[in-house]
Amino acid sequence: MTPKNVDYSLYLVTDSTPTILGEKDLVEVVKAAVGGGVTIVQLRDKNSETAELVRIAKDLHAVTKPAGVPLLINDRVDVALAAGVEGVHVGQDDLDLKSARHILGPDAIIGVTANSLEEALTAARDGADYLGIGTVYATPTKENTKSIIGTSGVQTILAKLSEEGLGNVKTVAIGGINASNAQRILYQSASPAKKLDGIAVVSAIVAADDAKSAGSDLRRLVKEPPAFA
């Protein structure tokens, strides 16, 4: 894959906790999801030790890389480097974006969580490749989210990014997104000057019995124009 020529339309964020993954195997779930049409994957694992995380990252990369799907690591620049994956996703409490860029270099894909307009503008100015904007809707997957911003909050951020000349930064929305609301979120979040580049989901794919069909259903929804537009 060409660095930076990234399709953000269907972004899978993993979760290995039993309530979401169940008895399934994460590598198999990611393999199925990639087969279904997921376009980018983030390994998000808050529990595994470093060596284990690197091992998981390498196992996932063996699935994503041949498919041309970038793999990013949540929080951990060291793990991304050790596993040789395409980038990282950092939150507001993780290593700052400029340091992550300094370590990983210009070709790495670096995404930043933006819960507010301020956070979005700062990350875009500091050179984030994409913003993970949310939390759109409350979700049991991540309970202590700072704020639920809804589609109107996403729309405000998109409009302001464009107004400030930062319209080139890519954007995905996250939080409570599934096949029943994906098109509505994409449609309602759009401002006249800037729309989302994609949606990010955890449970809609990881908790599904069939990650491949969950992925392909979502992929169809994000690629098709909404029926109600």
Residues at the interface with ligand TZP (CB under 6 A): 13, 134-135, 139, 141-142, 145, 174-177, 201-204
Here the tokens at position 126 are 């500091």
Task: Round to whole Å and give the CA distance between 199 and 178.
Answer: 9
Nearer to Mg ion, 91 or 127 (CB): 91
Q: Which of 24, 12, 158 is nearest to 72 (CA)?
A: 12
Nearer to ligand TZP, 65 or 188 (CB): 188
Contacted entry of Mg ion, ligand TZP, none for residue 176, CB cut-off 5 to 8 Å set by kind: ligand TZP
Nearer to Mg ion, 91 or 167 (CB): 91
Per the CB < 8 A criterion, the answer to whether 208 and 36 are in contact is no
**Residue corresponding to tokens 């040789």:** 84
Q: Which of 207, 223, 208 is nearest to 17 (CA)?
A: 207
Contacted entry of ligand TZP, Mg ion, none for residue 174, CB cut-off 5 to 8 Å set by kind: ligand TZP
Paired strand residues for 130:
111, 170
- Residue 141 CB, shortest distance to ligand TZP, in Å, is 3
Contacted entry of ligand TZP, Mg ion, none for residue 91, CB cut-off 5 to 8 Å set by kind: Mg ion
The site for Mg ion (CB under 5 A) is made up of 75, 91, 94
Nearer to ligand TZP, 33 or 174 (CB): 174
- Residue 75 CB, shortest distance to Mg ion, in Å, is 4
Contacted entry of ligand TZP, Mg ion, none for residue 139, CB cut-off 5 to 8 Å set by kind: ligand TZP
The secondary structure of 134-194 as a DSSP string is: E--S--TTSTT-S---HHHHHHHHHHHHHHTT-TTSEEEEESS--TTTHHHHHHHH--SS-
Contacted entry of ligand TZP, Mg ion, none for residue 167, CB cut-off 5 to 8 Å set by kind: none
